[in-house]
Amino acid sequence: MLLKDRIAVVTGAGSGIGRAGALMMGKEGAVVIIADRDAVSGEAVVAAIRAAGGRAEAVATDVSDDAQIDHLISTTLDKHGRIDILHNHAGIQVGGALTEVDSEGMDASWRINVRAHFLAAKLAMPSMIEQGGGVIVNTASNSGVFYDREMIAYATSKHAVVAMTRQMAVDYAKYNVRVNALCPGWVDTPFNDPFIAQMGGRAAIENYVRTKIPMKRWASAEEIAEGILFLVSDRSSFMTGQALVIDGGESIA
Ligand code: NAD
């Protein structure tokens, strides 16, 4: 097992990529703390990990609320004494170009995509230093490394996640804390439902994906979870400050 007895906290783990990563961590022996704002889906992921023979618990957490992030990190430390893995995954996509996005959309993107990652990492870092190391994965997006459609709030906040990841990595490498960014492209999860609706439905998005992505398809959440497992395990033991792009070639086309 790659993660035997490691304590892993995953935000936004109730669905999609976060869920797939959490299931994989559970399979590899970690104790997974499922931190989703949706308590029902959080508990369902806990049940799925336990049914597969793993260990998990849910701490319902809305990462847009500082007090709830504080509660997540402090209860985990109180109960388990350490956090080995922090996967900051919850995020939002506010669509639109400069003249279409209102200030509230920009603020919300910053608050959930960037500030929440910052705060959870800030609160977990002292214990990682004290215990001699740890791993942080910040979910960005391939929208954190390139620009395409009209997504100013999303692209700006996701680029900030990559920048913040690099800054954390360089500052805390001496404490054996590795920090990397996860940058998926199109992944078939409910996250894209609003964009699919905006595009005019499933057939339209399938056509978009076929023409825009060099590999001509979506990723599954499980394909992205393979990257998560790589980043949170010792398989990436000499890697820090990097943006792992898993996008079927979209950002280099
Ligand atoms: P998803 O919609 O399948 O799941 C998101 C989960 O996060 C849900 O369970 C939801 O309840 C939870 N959540 C939402 N807001 C929250 C909050 N404020 N606090 C706590 N939990 C919250 O989504 P997904 O596909 O796993 O994507 C989520 C993350 O992955 C985002 O950061 C997104 O930017 C990134 N991402 C997704 C894609 C994609 O195509 N799916 C591509 C690139 C990056």
Helix axis angle for 221-232 and 16-27, nearest 10°, is 50
**Which two tokens mark 168?**
């954390």
What residues are labeled active site? 154
Q: What pLDDT, in 10s, does the model give residues 18-59? A: 999 999 999 999 999 999 999 999 999 999 999 999 999 999
Q: Quote the pLDDT of residue 27.
A: 98
Q: Is the CB of 89 inside a 6 Å radius of any atom of ligand 1? A: yes
Q: What pLDDT, in 10s, does the model give residues 51-89? A: 999 999 999 999 999 999 999 999 999 999 999 999 999
**Cα(138)–Cα(228) distance, rounded to whole angstroms?**
10
Domain positions in the chain: 7-252
At 18, the amino acid letter reads G
Question: How many angstroms from the chain centroid is the CA of residue 148?
Answer: 21
Q: Is the CB of 68 inside a 6 Å radius of any atom of ligand 1? A: no
Give the CA angle between residues 18, 161, 35 to the nearest 5°: 30
Please, which pLDDT band fits residue 219 given cuts at 50, 70 and 90? very high
Pocket test for ligand 1, best of 71, 87, 191 (most atoms within 8 A of CB): 191
**H-only helix segments in the chain:** 16-27, 39-51, 66-80, 103-109, 116-131, 152-172, 193-199, 202-212, 221-232
Q: Is the CB of 248 inside a 6 Å radius of any atom of ligand 1? A: no
Q: What pLDDT, in 10s, does the model give residues 163-175? A: 999 999 999 999 9
**How far does residue 68's CA lie from ligand 1's centre (Å)?**
17
**Cα(49)–Cα(74) distance, rounded to whole angstroms?**
23
Domain at 7-252, CATH from 1.10.1510.10, 2.60.40.10, 3.40.50.720, 3.40.50.300:
3.40.50.720
